[in-house]
């Protein structure tokens, strides 16, 4: 089964939206990775992983970058997110 990873930080309304999108889509089994502890290092890692993005939230399925909260919403609304996780 494919694994979803969600990079987040506390006090982030966009991260809250991403969690709500996943919950509404019935996705409960995902790994949430907080960048709070070492933001500079984690943002540099995100920059490499996403090809230039270092804001959060950022989502990955099996280490494949799928986007931010707006992308998650679009993927959930079209059913593509469910297909990716089957």
* Per-residue pLDDT tens over the stretch 49-61: 999 999 999 999 9
Q: Give how many domains the chain has, as a whole number.
A: 1
Which range marks the domain in which residue 59 is found? 4-85
pLDDT in tens, 8-17: 999 999 999 9
Give the list of residues 6+ apart from residue 74 with CB closer than 8 angstroms, or none.
80
* pTM of the entire predicted model: 0.94
In sequence order, what DSSP letters do the residues of 44-60 get, joined into one string? Answer: HHHHHHHTS--SS-EEE
Q: What CATH number corresponds to the domain at position 70?
A: 3.40.30.10
């Amino acid at each position: 089964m494919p694994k979803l990873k969600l990079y987040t930080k506390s006090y982030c309304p966009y991260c809250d939206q991403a969690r709500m999108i996943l919950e509404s889509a019935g996705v409960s089994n995902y790994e949430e990775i907080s960048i709070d502890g070492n933001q500079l290092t984690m943002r540099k890692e995100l920059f490499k992983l996403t090809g230039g993005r270092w804001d959060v939230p950022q989502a990955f399925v099996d280490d494949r970058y799928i986007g931010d909260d707006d992308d998650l919403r679009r993927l959930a609304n079209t059913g593509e997110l469910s297909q990716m996780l089957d």
